[in-house]
Amino acid sequence: MEKTNKKRLWITLLCAGALLILVTLLENVLDPSKNVMLFISLKKGAVYALVAVSMNLLNGFTGLFSLGQAGFMLLGAYTYAILTIPADQRDAVYYIYNGSAINFSLPELLGGGPVGLVLGVLLALVLGGCVAAAVAWLIGLPVLRLKSDYLAIATLGFGEIIRAVFQWDKLGPVTNGANALKNFPTFSSFNIQGGLRLSTCVAFLLAGICIAVILLLINSTYGRAFKAIRDDEVAAEAMGINLARHKRLSFCISSFFAGVGGGLFAMLVNQAQAKTFTTAMTYEILLIVVIGGIGSVSGSCIAAFLYVAASEWWLRFLDTETYIGGFKVPLLRNGFRMVVFSVIIMIVVLFFRRGIMGDRELPDLLAGLSGKTRRKEAAGK
Amino acid sequence: MSETVLKVENITMQFGGVVAVDNLNLEVNRGEIVALIGPNGAGKTTAFNVITGVYQPTNGAVWFQGEKIVENHPQGKMKALYKGEHAGEYTAVLAPTPDRVTRLGMARTFQNIRLWKSQTVFDNVLIAKHCRSTSNVFSASFRLNRKEETRQRENVEELLETVGLADVKNELATSLPYGKQRRLEIARALAAEPKLLLLDEPAAGMNPQETEELTAFIGEIRDRFQLTVFLIEHHMNLVMNISQRIYVLDFGRLIAHGTPAEIQNNKRVIDAYLGVSEDA
Amino acid sequence: MQYAISILLSGISLGGQYALIAIGYTLVYGILRLINFAHGDVFMVAGLLMVYLTSFLGGILPPAAVIPAGLLLAVVLTVVLGFVIERAAYKPLRTAPRMSVMISAIGVSYLLQNLATYATGGLPQMYPEVPGISSTVTILGVPTKVVTVVTPILVVVLVAALTQLINHTKVGMAMRAAAKDFETAQLMGIRINAVISATFVIGSFLAAVGSVLYFTNYPSIVPLSGSLPGLRAFVAAVFGGIGSIPGAVVGAFIIGISESVIKGSSWSIFSDAFTFALLIVILVAKPTGLFGEKVTDKV
Amino acid sequence: MKKLFSMMLALVMVLSLAACGGGSGSGSGDAVSGSGSSGGKTVRIGVFEPSTGDSGAGGKQEMLGMQYANKETPTVEIGGETYNVELVYADNASSADKAPTAAAELVGKDVSLVLGTYGSGCAIAGGPVFGEAGLAAIGVTCTNPGVTAGNDYYFRICFLDPFQGTVLANFAQEKFSAKKAYLLGELGNDYDQGLLNYFEQAFDGTCVKDSFPTNTSDFSTYLNKAVAEGCEVIFCPVSIAYSTQIVKLAASMNLELPILGSDTLDSNKVLSAAQGSNVQIYVSTFYQEGGSPEFDDGIKAWLNEDSTAMTNNGGDDTIAAVTAMGYDAYYVALEALKAAGSPDKAAVKAALPSLSYTGVSGAIAFDDVGDAIRDTAYIKTADNAAGAWTLETVQTAK
């Protein structure tokens, strides 16, 4: 048991390391201007993978159906943005409110330069997660007593409330009201001038570390307790698992990583604006979780990349009117991409209910495959 | 030897107008195997649920190892409805959640087996160890509790060996045959390191041979883990063979109490089980 | 004073329109325990159908017949849509966990919105004027549309009819039985699929009627037109006690009026937030809503 | 049976996926070639516009201008060679989270420069992607100062929100001697809120400010509030979808207050909503129909010919200012290509700052931030009987 666990750990680490190196290599070898789409999709996929995994922790591993993910992402994104906008840019960003109420920037506070940048960004991301977790803790007090779909609708409502609060004019000097926060360090800030391009690598690294932590949690004694709650609440409680505490824990941790994911999202889209974090975004993430398989971390990751690539890249040709020879391909026009895409989603939901991975993980699958071939070989002999 | 482990004191459980348990009093001493029997709907499981904190009783108290763990008096709507004895005797409210009761040293099984379905046999037992773990989320996630984790895993291996499920430990819990699922549920309860084991109809749905094995098994684990066992059962064979004392419940009221031999000859018990003419 | 009346009027008419949508939510939830996220979008599609039908029928029918025929067809098609959605997206998942069904509902909602975007090309569509209810009247010195007055009356009539249907017909009794205990009802020989279809048909019908009233008042339709009224109507259903028809209606009027009042106050930007805050408070304080029944889990 | 069905669906899915793979493959293959069978070389101009989402209607009208200009002048002379101009589209769905990928799509398609977008939020989100790729973008009607500030690669040919807000505030005071104004915008929409702010700053009297949540369709309470508060003008610089609702509602309740709007309200959808009623609508805009009769006639003829274009324009041939701006943007792009002397994006970028061009909407030149040097806004009013815009006045900044 221990041994296979160790083996799995090694496989996972190796895969992750290889992926990281591959991504860095790709980014530095391929012509960046020809392959922007690839890298943007990769970055977005990494961010969505993190957010999907954090949602999966809650929905798939603890059995709490929450739809507040976008709200927590918003908290993380704003915290990150507010703390990292350079001081001399603040007047330009908060131009409506004649400057910001907060006049420091973490990267500069930590000494500026590359070291300050790295430390400041990391600290701001973590703080963003902490803010999200703290708010989750507060909301969890009343809301987590609710059962499945009531919980879903209450968290959904919470997301809307958060959005309205952040758009409130009176908070303008902090949140910049309806205006976008921008000019903060993004993934591209990590590209070394004239040297290594690290932006995609940074996105993968940050998201990867967070996902690894979630994985560690899931495989710890707490993660097992979460799964017990998911499978049978009454039995879990009878076996000494404090429901309120563990649900809150799961909710806060999930929100923490959603917050970090929000910060990363802000880095991805170069701005933070409350109107981006809509319920539609939560639904998108939920669909990623479903497509990947509820209860599978690797499924969520794979699905995140597939989802982003399919919806924003591969299927884009469906949006443009195309002529093959003199023949106009029917149906192709704006909006068709999303129709096709939602049909695909419906097919997955209805006919491939377990998603790509079900509740298995990639190493299981690999181990299973190699096991099978070995058995086959044995049978052959 | 005769130290009282569990004491149920004047417990009444009323759902609206229905009295499920009416002024129940009973005691279980250390090392004993005590049974609670009664016809269907007599309120046995309700009594269990009150003891383990699932329900809050309308009135009364529960003591465990000399400590009062549950206490309640009629409140709200019940104030007007409740006209039982001992009204006004209890004034404080003690309402621990079931998990707290379990951590105090009571573990239970369920009438309709409630295993964690997507988990393996091993994990089912291991999860029950969670309540005895001293690590916090941080130390657990970053594996700073390796020692404890290893010890727990060894414990679970041992436990599975003892209950005879070691050979199926990597199977899914739900793939086991019925009898083994029962055993697994008991093993899971044992993993929570209880002093008092509460078994809710452990032999339900078993054939005579399985029941016999179970009887022996319960005795075995009692001795091995120095447990006190309190069980609900229908199978008279099992009850008569292993219990030292028996309480009989009918329509929520205690109608008899004594050794198996006494109960077998108690007229009220026979009436309750067979039905008397006034019923007809 | 006039201002107060105008706010109240708009609140009542909003409330009535929400009520018609909320009943659809509450009926479905009562039986399937499913938050039918697609219901708001069915409402939006009903509006779009009307737009396209009138422009289509305008070419083949005499002008006087266009609107009535369009109305009739739009209602019928919406009902068919509701029926098809249930059969295609929910029925195959009858034995699946509740979460899967809910996700399917979200998927349907996504699909309907994207289809609408595709069909309209993202341009807002103008709802045709329905003669009789589009004209303006003056009530207590406040000019308003006839539809404002018609809405509450129509709601009361429809709800009364619906209550009759549920209490005194065979289908209605079957619906109540299924709502009480799905499995037992099935064992008692109730054709559960037929009952569920009937529920969706009724829900979609009311949503279609609601859409006529709503879009007559607010005539521009975009693919997201259904989502906000849908969510609000759902909140209303929860507020009134999900599964209860009178609860849904009362809840809808409360939500409609309070929304209107808040918009009229200086806290208008929190009108949405308030609706959801109300929802959370209700869920926490009295999860069964105003008229809901308590359900206990068996251990 | 069921299995068969799901298998078939799976097959369809796989096929469609395969098709996508093929599609994208060939797409990127094309990008490099350039010399097709048509003979001449091709230069690509990216169109970064929303065609779905809440700015979809405006984005489409803006694209019409470019499409018409492209039809009118499909070739350009660069460094002595004639190039075919190809417009490459990417839909940013009016949403900031889709904008970077849409921008990346254009970068990947090897365009020489980019036009767009309608809606400043998407421009801000997509801007850095262009910046990183060294690709210049010309904002057509994104009026938020944040678009060009801090981004060397973003230029724009329209005026800015501070200017527009001030112009309208002055107009309200001059024309209606208004002392109290009701300001209404969409909650969380930077465009609306920014304009409201500038209006408020420039306006001497009192302002009652309100915001409605996204997807609102019931505006009666807001309009009633404006009346109840005794406001003399309503200023609602909201997107087309909302403004049609507001105008329609105002028409049905016989609202006597004049409604002031920004460039977004300059749309035939608004006109048709107001037609036949007594609502007074005044909008500030970049272009007034009749400013260039030649352009007007040409594009009208084209609209009446091409039914898709007509639909995209909202069903009639009224020319929106954004269409004129799109038209001008296309010619600015051509000028930039000519000045650069090569379709290379770096050359184009370098050529842009010193460019000047006189288009149908007036003279265009860029200042050192990359913003257009413009000091004129047209204020038009809706003629509800005729269903057309008439020029009210031409305002300049003070």
Separation between Cα atoms, residue C266 and residue A376, nearest integer Å: 74
Q: In a 3-state reduction of DSSP, which class is residue C142?
A: strand
Q: What is the pLDDT of residues B257-273, one digit of tens each?
A: 999 988 888 888 888 87
Q: List the chains bordering chain A where 3 or more Cβ pairs fall under 8 Å.
A: B, C, D
Mean pLDDT of all residues belonging to chain D: 81
- C217: closest CA of chain B, how far (Å): 47
Written as one letter, the residue type at A126 is V
B19 bridge partner residues? B14
In Å, what is the CA distance from A113 to each residue of A106, A117, C186?
Answer: 12, 6, 70
Is residue D29 assigned to a domain?
A: no
Q: Cβ(D332)–Cβ(D357) under 8 Å?
A: yes
* pLDDT confidence bin for B237, thresholds 50/70/90: confident
Around Cβ A227, how many Cβ atoms within 10 Å? 22
Contact D314 C268 (CB under 8 A): no
Is residue D274 assigned to a domain?
A: yes
Q: Can you give the pLDDT at residue A96?
A: 77
Q: Are residues D251 and D119 in the same domain?
A: no
Separation between Cα atoms, residue D251 and residue D229, nearest integer Å: 19
Triad C192, C193, C196: Cα angle to 5°: 85
Q: What DSSP designation does B65 have? A: T
Contact of B122 with chain A, judged by CB distance below 8 Å, is answered with yes
Q: In this prediction, what percent of chain B has a pLDDT beyond 90?
A: 35
Q: What DSSP designation does D140 have? A: S
Query: CB within 8 A of A182, min separation 6: which ones?
Result: A81, A85, A93, A270, A271, A272, D124, D146, D150
Written as one letter, the residue type at C106 is I
Please tell me which of the candidates C134, C217, C272 has its beta carbon nearest to residue D213: C272
Q: What DSSP designation does C88 have? A: I
pLDDT of D22 over the 50 cut: no
When pLDDT is averaged across residues D173-201 and rounded to a whole number, the result is 87
Q: Which two tokens stand for residue A185?
A: 């360090």
Options 1.10.287.620, 3.40.640.10, 3.40.50.720, 3.40.50.300; CATH for B4-105+194-279 is 3.40.50.300
Specify burial of residue B30 (Cβ count, 10 A radius: 0-12, 13-18, 19+): middle
* pLDDT confidence bin for B101, thresholds 50/70/90: very high
Q: In a 3-state reduction of DSSP, which class is residue C156?
A: helix
Q: Cβ(C126)–Cβ(D241) under 8 Å?
A: no
pLDDT of B80 over the 80 cut: no
Q: Which of C235, C241, C231 is nearest to C255 (CA)?
A: C235
Where in the sequence is the domain holding C10, given as residue range(s)?
Answer: 2-285
Residues D279-308: b if buried by 16+ CB within 10 A, e if exposed:
bbbbbbbbbbbebbeebbebbbebbeebee
Separation between Cα atoms, residue B77 and residue D260, nearest integer Å: 61
D365 bridge partner residues? D356
Q: Which two tokens stand for residue C44?
A: 């939006």
Is residue D3 assigned to a domain?
A: no
Q: Can you give the pLDDT at residue A378?
A: 47
Q: Which two tokens stand for residue C46?
A: 């009903």
Query: Does C touch D (3+ CB pairs < 8 Å)?
Result: yes
Q: In a 3-state reduction of DSSP, which class is residue C61?
A: coil
Chain A positions touching D96 (Cβ under 8 A) are 180, 269, 271, 273, 275-276
How many domains, chain D? 2
Domain ranges of chain A: 2-380
Q: What is the pLDDT of residues C105-142, one digit of tens each?
A: 989 998 999 899 888 877 778 888 887 777 777 777 77
* Residue keyed to tokens 């339709």: C221
Instruction: Specify the pTM.
Output: 0.87
Please tell me which of the candidates C103, C115, C287 has its beta carbon nearest to residue A286: C103
When pLDDT is averaged across residues B9-25 and rounded to a whole number, the result is 87
When pLDDT is averaged across residues B69-81 and rounded to a whole number, the result is 82
Chain D positions touching A177 (Cβ under 8 A) are 193
Selected for mutation to probe chain A from B127, B168, B182 (highest A CB count within 10 Å) is B127
Separation between Cα atoms, residue A88 and residue A72, nearest integer Å: 28
Written as one letter, the residue type at C123 is L
Q: Which of D1, A94, D386, A278 is nearest to C110 (CA)?
A: A278
Q: How many CA atoms lie within 13 A of D118 on its CB side?
A: 32
Q: Can you give the pLDDT at residue A38?
A: 85
Q: Which two tokens stand for residue C149?
A: 């007055």
Is residue C231 assigned to a domain?
A: yes
Q: Are residues D313 and D341 in the same domain?
A: yes
Q: Cβ(D219)–Cβ(C217) under 8 Å?
A: no
Q: Cβ(C227)–Cβ(C40) under 8 Å?
A: yes
Is residue D81 assigned to a domain?
A: yes
Q: Which of B75, B60, B81 is nearest to B11 (CA)?
A: B60
Contact C10 D224 (CB under 8 A): yes
- C182: closest CA of chain B, how far (Å): 21
Specify burial of residue A123 (Cβ count, 10 A radius: 0-12, 13-18, 19+): middle
Q: How many CA atoms lie within 13 A of B194 on its CB side?
A: 35
Q: Can you give the pLDDT at residue D251?
A: 84
Q: Can you give the pLDDT at residue D21?
A: 36
CATH 3.40.50.300 in chain B, residues?
A: 4-105+194-279
- A73: closest CA of chain D, how far (Å): 13
Please tell me which of the candidates A167, A315, A335 has its beta carbon nearest to residue D52: A335
Q: Considering only B128-137, B165-174, C258-267, D21-30, which range has the smallest mean pLDDT?
A: D21-30
- pLDDT tens for chain A, 381 residues long, are 455 667 777 887 888 888 888 888 888 887 766 777 888 889 999 999 999 999 999 988 998 988 899 999 999 999 999 999 988 888 878 877 877 788 888 888 888 788 888 999 999 999 999 999 999 999 998 888 887 778 888 898 888 889 888 888 788 888 888 888 888 888 888 888 777 788 888 899 999 999 999 999 998 999 999 999 999 989 999 999 999 999 999 999 999 999 999 999 999 888 888 888 988 889 889 989 988 988 889 899 999 999 998 887 887 777 777 777 667 677 777 778 888 888 888 888 888 878 887 777 776 766 665 555 544 444 444
Q: For residue C80, give the CATH number of its domain.
A: 1.10.3470
- C121: closest CA of chain A, how far (Å): 7
Q: Cβ(B24)–Cβ(B232) under 8 Å?
A: no
Tell me the pairing of strands B228-232 and B245-250.
unpaired
Q: Which of D346, D376, D380, D368 is nearest to D149 (CA)?
A: D368
Q: Which two tokens stand for residue D197?
A: 């702010």
> Considering just the CA atoms, what is the radius of gyration of chain D in Å?
22
Where in the sequence is the domain holding D248, given as residue range(s)?
Answer: 161-285+378-396
Q: Which two tokens stand for residue D274?
A: 């107001």
Output the DSSP codes for A296-344: -HHHHHHHHHHHHHHHHTGGGGGGS--EETTEEPTT-STTHHHHHHHHH
Q: Can you give the pLDDT at residue A263?
A: 95
Is residue D332 assigned to a domain?
A: yes
Q: Considering only B41-45, B85-89, B196-200, C189-193, which range has the smallest mean pLDDT?
A: B85-89
pLDDT of C22 over the 80 cut: yes
Q: In this prediction, what percent of chain D has a pLDDT beyond 90?
A: 7
Q: For residue D91, give the CATH number of its domain.
A: 3.40.50.2300
Chain B positions touching C299 (Cβ under 8 A) are 45, 49, 54, 110
Q: In a 3-state reduction of DSSP, which class is residue D43?
A: strand
Q: D346 or D35, which is more confident?
A: D346
Around Cβ D350, how many Cβ atoms within 10 Å? 14
Specify burial of residue B7 (Cβ count, 10 A radius: 0-12, 13-18, 19+): middle
Residue of A nearest to B132 (CA): A240
Counting every residue written for chain B, the total comes to 280
Is residue D2 assigned to a domain?
A: no
Q: Which two tokens stand for residue B280?
A: 């007809």
Q: Can you give the pLDDT at residue B50?
A: 92
pLDDT of D37 over the 70 cut: no
Contact D241 C268 (CB under 8 A): no
Give φ, ψ of A146 to 5 degrees: -80, 155
When pLDDT is averaged across residues C243-253 and rounded to a whole number, the result is 88
Contact A334 D95 (CB under 8 A): no
Q: Considering only A203-212, C252-261, D268-277, D327-336, which range has the smallest mean pLDDT?
A: D268-277
Contact A240 B107 (CB under 8 A): yes
pLDDT of D36 over the 60 cut: no
Mean pLDDT of all residues belonging to chain C: 85
Contact of B94 with chain C, judged by CB distance below 8 Å, is answered with no
Q: In a 3-state reduction of DSSP, which class is residue B266?
A: coil
Q: Are residues D77 and D143 in the same domain?
A: yes
Query: CB within 8 A of D154, min separation 6: which ones?
Result: D123, D127, D130, D131, D136, D137, D139, D147, D148, D370
Q: Cβ(C142)–Cβ(C5) under 8 Å?
A: yes
